[in-house]
Structure 1
Amino acid sequence: MSRLQACLIVAALAWPVAGWPAANASMVAAPQAGTSRAGSNAPAADPLAAWRGLEKLDGAIALAELNDLASRWAAEGFDEPDVVLDRLEELQQGLAAAPSLAWARVVERTRGLVAARAGREAVAQEAAGRLSQMADRDPVAAADAAMVRAMLDDQLWRTESATGHALEADAAYARFCAGGVQRSNSCDHRGWWQVVRLLTLRADRQGNRLEAARLQQRANELAAQVNDDALLAWGLSAQAVLSHYLNDAEKSRREMAQAERHAKKDPTGRAMIRVLMNTAVLASARNDHAGSQPALEEAVRIARNVGSVRLEAQILGSLSDEFLRAGRAREALAAVERALPVMRRFNDRRNLPVMLHNGGLARIRLGQLAQGKADLEAALQLWEQANARARIEAALNESADALAAVGDVKAALEHFHRATRLREQIDNDTRDAVLGQLKERFRTEAGQRDLELAERENSLKTARLENQSLMQRVWMLASVALALAAGVLVVQLRRTRHANLQLRRSEALLKVQSERDPLTGLANRRHFREALAARQDDEGDGFVGGLILLDVDHFKRINDEHGHAVGDAVLVEVAQRLAACVRAGDVACRWGGEEFLLHTPALRGEALETLALRVLGEIGNRPFKLPDGREISVTMSMAYAGFPLPPHGTTLPWEQAVNLVDMGLYSAKAMGRDRAVGLNGTDATSTDALVRAADDFERARQDGRLTVKVTPRSAA
């Protein structure tokens, strides 16, 4: 049987059966040059009978063509899941009497994938269950089942579960589909490609771009094995983005050129859409926003031409980001309003909150405060359902900045406070793991040094136990040989003393390591809390001394425009400049992220103000040199206060003192950044009254309950 004859039979399978829409037959293109679309002038074929005949004639060719057909159905199902699911349901009914394992498996895999990507959980789980039941006769069915579950969990944003199923599927595909000779005649590398691509995205979201690049290369190799130009175009363009982030510009350009060549071979146009989307990502990563927007607009045009409303909605989401970045709020809102109904239709939980958040920011900039705030809250609720706390914190900070920019200081402060509380929760949840992470980092960086330290500690503990045993033996022999026993006792006492000294030194070293920020070398929040708590215990309930809280202005923009490596270099340089400003007895710490906190036990009043303004100028007056030789300007917002506050000497516990200065810092940011806000006094005569003023800082400042001095850096 020739391949041409096999293709004709498979084309017959694509012809409408039992009321399928006739238009769907047009999506089955001739698989080989010179082969016309079969079925357009022929009577409807019985798919089950055709498949049986195809199996008898040439099973390998038949299965390859069937997998190609299923791939086209899955592509159609991305935008029209109901049409494709109905089609596959009728196929299942036709197979009930005499099912073919290979046919049934391809049908279930396709049905599960279409349902998963549409968020139809019941249908996807049913298909995965049927695939699992086939695993005893075809082990690759178990891999397909795990693949379907991974795609469903990813669509519904169940990240950990999606990763677990993807790893399970990857291992199963590797057992039965890897190598030149497949152990199962049912292998189709497109399913394997799906799970490797999912793992690639997970690694990229975690910031591990080396691992993401390795996984994407694997995915590209799988696409090449089935000669799928669309998957190759998509994968190579994604690889080009990763290569850029890994500082290999030449490799990035080469991969993008290869992606474009493969995309031009895809007659559906969908591959070119993916390439254009990654072209926009690459342009944005290069800070070339003038190149990003045209690529996205061209992708929207192609998506409309091919009728992919879902891809169009995803592209509009990226366009709304570009419009917001360019200050074009009205166009950003228009893009969001076009995309939102589509995302709701497909239950796209990953992209829906992003669109609501972008729409809320756009509405606020356009003066539609009530609706903008409602959209922001709706986005936050969806992220809360997914427990995406880091994304919530970033969104709250973005919305706080937007609200402050339009003068809604009260709402801006509320969002800022929520972000601060959430950051506290995240810090509290991860505090127990900090020491373990530090040990792991030091083990990686110092390697043998830490290993030898641990071994010495174990040896010292063993020696201590041996010493105790020897001491008992010495006392037992004392009555027989007192002089000898006394000599041995002296030796053992010296050994014990030495061992205890070494152990104390090791414990002190570990304590110091656990109390230092590994990036900047400053004290970390844990050390700062313990130090202030100890001082408060010595001095009573009232905190005494000066506090200066600083925050790097627009730090997210520095990361976005220059990369996280530059962001880390900026934090290190800020720490060095702070350390140069403080005196003996002062404590400087990295409070969290881009925030730093200084405690000066002896400074208050004008002396504290002088130090604060010196720090403000030390950061902002000299440019920061980057590792590649470039220079950037960095400014800080700060707040400072000396406790107890004059004129009544009102005191606060140290935690509430830090919180009060934190409110001053946010006021500095809301007033335009690059300035210092000094809390010089209060009319509160009691701790409770001062706490109430801190809870509503802006109103307390306006009605005079708090005396504030604002000093821009230029006036310092």
Structure 2
Amino acid sequence: MIRQDVANTLLIVVHRALPAYFVGIALLSFSIHIHAEAPTLDALTRIEILANDHPDRALQQLRALESEARKAPMATRAAFLGALGYTQALSGDAEAAQRTSSELEALAGGNREIAAEAMLVRANALFVRGSLDAAAASAKSALESFDAHSPARLRYWARHALGSILFEQARYDQALTHLQEAARIAEDNGWARRRGMVLNSLATLYLNLRQYDRALQAAAEACDIARRGNDTAALANYKLTEANIHSATDTRPAQHMALNESLRLARSVGARATESAALINLSDYYLSSGDYAAAIGHAEQAMPITREFQDWSGEATIQTNIGLARILSGDTASGKPLIETALETYASHGARNDEVAVLREYGDALRKTGQSAAALETLLRERTLSEELLQSEKQRVVLELQARYEADKRDREITLLNRENALKDAQIENHRLARRVWWLLMVVCALAALVVGLLYRRVRSTNRQLEERNEELAIQSSRDPLTGLYNRRYFQQRMAQLDASPADLATNTVRATYLIDIDHFKRINDRRGHPAGDAVLIAVAERLREALREADMIVRWGGEEFLIFVPRIRADQMAELAQRIIHAISGQAVAYNGDLIPVTASIGYAPFPLPPGGIRLPWEREINLIDMALYLAKAHGRSRAYGVARLLTEGDGGIERIEHDLEQAWTNGLVELAITEGPPPVPVD
């Protein structure tokens, strides 16, 4: 498993590296010997720089200055507490950082900037704990305390910190705005090292947005800044980002070279956190290459470092990689406990996306080693968790839209109130002028009428723009941006409506749902690149539109999966429709960059209500049953459709046994399946 907080997020080193963004300082070459230095701002800045890679040594230096710092003026004392809090969090002691934040807040009194510094330290401690929502709220409060006249260094730290946390929450549009502003502040003030840090963060953000050219450009510029400043530790960090970009573009030799260079640089300056990240990513590199011994060896080298820094996320990633390598090597007995331990760690820290990713890789490894029953159980766990995350995301989006609507409403009310006040002032002025010069009254009235007319036209224009924006938001919330098909959120809303008010169906007519999975899609992405995979998804979506009726709903279900909902169809026509879908997808290879990509698909489907007894199920249980039919199609050779034709048992107990294990129920004669063969799946070269 690729280390998420290194490979796919803005964190430069292990999970505790975000505090480096809060302090906003780059790595410099200087002596790290502890000495009795006066607690000046320059001295504290040098210690903060040291803390980025050697937090334990930095803490020793801060303790040596503590007695003098606590007797210093307020500004110096506040700077000392800020440095202490950041360093405590970097060393993994979130509780101590939280206490230092409270002490800094008490010191602030009415000083707005010191109070904001305390909020940034608190956000840092919350991030180390994995409390991303609370960390984002604290960093946002700090940013809102500043204005254009606040010190540039504080505005830079707050922007970089909030952008980094928002990226961790996958709120990419907001993260991009804050990080670009941090880069602008660094450039305006000539802060080369700080600008390098933001460029590295932006490179990782562009990587997640699949803007690979921009990602490589930003990473290359960050590396140039580090080289010009002889900043070896930062260069080691930036090389990790470069390796992740090469991984996404499937340029594996360049990825391997960048990872080894990062490891060499990190070891040359004793940057232990970066060394751990490089070892973990090399472990994943060898895992995907099939060199399981090398994958285990690099992961085991990283383990002592993650434990030294109390890095729970890094340790869970290492356990995942070792567990997968052992399972794929045939040692399932020792691999499974490691992965289950990693899953418990992610669950206890609320890292649900990591938990889903591990379950997906876990199930794939079990399937590859022939453990079908265990693979199916893992698949069901992953599906359940994915549905929970989808519901949480839906609630978050609704709350954000509601907050945005309320803010727009308040802005409109303020605008209208200001306009009313302006009109009242104009009327008072008109009366005063009328008493002095009566013949100017007509001119003033004409001007007032003109102003009212212009204001009225502007209000109408604003209302039209608001209506257009609301329509755009409605479309965006229901459509997949890549294929233009309906998204999962829209389908769930529609199915909830149908379950609440089921439509009456004609005799021998049912509604049917088909779940489609493109065969070997990961190979297309791995060997031809993600743009080729996107071209295949777009082509499949267009072929489905041409093959189906206007009344049939086509949904981008997620990744390489599509869902088709047919509101009315004769039961004896369902297999024929499955055959038509198979041939629509696989009838012609997809042309991309002068090459032809063969495409086949596996399908699971079922009618509802279920014949012959007309059993009705909630739509979630319908999808679960169809998903198991799809799993059988994939497990039995791909490029085929497995459909639930009819039940051969009665009662709730029978349907529960079928839902628990469809293949076993089929074998035991509890259910009749319709099988439709497609063309042989062609491996992607």
Give me the TM-score of the superposition, normalised by structure 2. Answer: 0.73
Q: Please state how far the C-alpha of 1:114 moved relative to its aligned partner.
A: 1.0
Q: Distance in 2 between matches of 1:206 and 1:160?
A: 8
Conserved 8 A contact 1:405-1:670: no
Number of residue pairs matched by the alignment: 585
What residue in structure 2 maps to residue 84 of structure 1? 58
What residue in structure 1 maps to residue 491 of structure 2? 524
Q: Please state how far the C-alpha of 1:692 moved relative to its aligned partner.
A: 0.9
What residue in structure 1 maps to residue 375 of structure 2? 412
Q: Distance in 1 between matches of 2:66 and 2:597?
A: 63
Conserved 8 A contact 2:239-2:262: yes
Q: Distance in 1 between matches of 2:491 and 2:173?
A: 29
Counterpart mapping for 1:24-103 below 5 A: 47-48=37-38, 63=41, 65-78=42-55, 81=56, 83-95=57-69, 98-103=71-76
Q: Please state how far the C-alpha of 1:266 moved relative to its aligned partner.
A: 4.3
Conserved 8 A contact 1:401-1:670: no
Conserved 8 A contact 1:525-1:589: no
- Please say if 1:280 is aligned against 2:243: yes
Conserved 8 A contact 1:303-1:312: yes
Q: Distance in 2 between matches of 1:230 and 1:514?
A: 39
- Please say if 1:123 is aligned against 2:67: no
Conserved 8 A contact 1:317-1:355: yes
User: Which letter maps to 1:87?
Assistant: Q
For residue 337 of structure 2, the aligned residue among 374, 377, 390 is: 374
Q: Distance in 2 between matches of 1:210 and 1:219?
A: 15
**Taking structure 1 as reference, are residues 408 and 45 closer, same or farther at Cα in structure 2, changes over 3 Å only?**
closer
For residue 638 of structure 1, the aligned residue among 596, 603, 611 is: 603
**Taking structure 1 as reference, are residues 257 and 545 closer, same or farther at Cα in structure 2, changes over 3 Å only?**
closer
Conserved 8 A contact 1:528-1:589: no
TM-superposition CA deviations, 1:19-73 (whole Å, max 9, x none): xxxxxxxx9967xxxxxx89x9xxx98645xx6xxxxxxxxxx64x324422333
For residue 597 of structure 1, the aligned residue among 564, 567, 571 is: 564
**Taking structure 1 as reference, are residues 623 and 201 closer, same or farther at Cα in structure 2, changes over 3 Å only?**
farther
Conserved 8 A contact 2:69-2:80: no
Q: Please state how far the C-alpha of 1:128 moved relative to its aligned partner.
A: 1.5
Conserved 8 A contact 2:263-2:279: yes
Counterpart mapping for 1:230-249 below 5 A: 230-240=193-203, 242=205
Q: Please state how far the C-alpha of 1:307 moved relative to its aligned partner.
A: 1.8
Q: Distance in 2 between matches of 1:547 and 1:127?
A: 57
- DSSP-derived class of the 2:46 partner: helix
Counterpart mapping for 1:222-621 below 5 A: 222-223=185-186, 230-240=193-203, 242=205, 255-267=218-230, 269-429=232-392, 517=479, 519=481, 520-522=484-486, 524-531=491-498, 534-535=501-502, 544-553=510-519, 573-583=539-549, 588-590=554-556, 594-599=561-566, 601-605=568-572, 607-621=573-587
User: Which letter maps to 1:345?
Assistant: E
Q: Distance in 1 between matches of 2:492 and 2:88?
A: 47
For residue 199 of structure 1, the aligned residue among 130, 142, 162 is: 162
**Taking structure 1 as reference, are residues 539 and 118 closer, same or farther at Cα in structure 2, changes over 3 Å only?**
farther
Q: Please state how far the C-alpha of 1:257 moved relative to its aligned partner.
A: 4.3
Q: Considering only CA atoms, is the larger Rg found in Structure 1 or Structure 2?
A: 1
Conserved 8 A contact 2:603-2:642: yes
What residue in structure 2 maps to residue 653 of structure 1? 617
TM-superposition CA deviations, 1:300-359 (whole Å, max 9, x none): 122122222222111222223322332333322222222233223322244333333333
Conserved 8 A contact 1:233-1:260: yes
Q: Distance in 2 between matches of 1:250 and 1:423?
A: 31
Q: Please state how far the C-alpha of 1:112 moved relative to its aligned partner.
A: 0.8
- DSSP-derived class of the 2:679 partner: helix
Deviates further, 390-399 or 147-156: 390-399
Deviates further, 66-75 or 429-438: 429-438
Deviates further, 559-568 or 698-707: 559-568
Q: Distance in 2 between matches of 1:338 and 1:408?
A: 30
Conserved 8 A contact 2:590-2:598: yes
What residue in structure 1 maps to residue 107 of structure 2? 134
- DSSP-derived class of the 2:516 partner: strand
Q: Distance in 2 between matches of 1:587 and 1:254?
A: 41
TM-superposition CA deviations, 1:609-648 (whole Å, max 9, x none): 221022022123334467x9986554432113456778x7
Conserved 8 A contact 1:604-1:643: no
**Taking structure 1 as reference, are residues 394 and 29 closer, same or farther at Cα in structure 2, changes over 3 Å only?**
closer
Q: Distance in 1 between matches of 2:97 and 2:636?
A: 52
- DSSP-derived class of the 1:602 partner: strand
Q: Distance in 1 between matches of 2:211 and 2:352?
A: 33
- Structure 2 stretches lacking a partner, 5+ long: 1-26, 413-470
Q: Distance in 2 between matches of 1:295 and 1:514?
A: 38
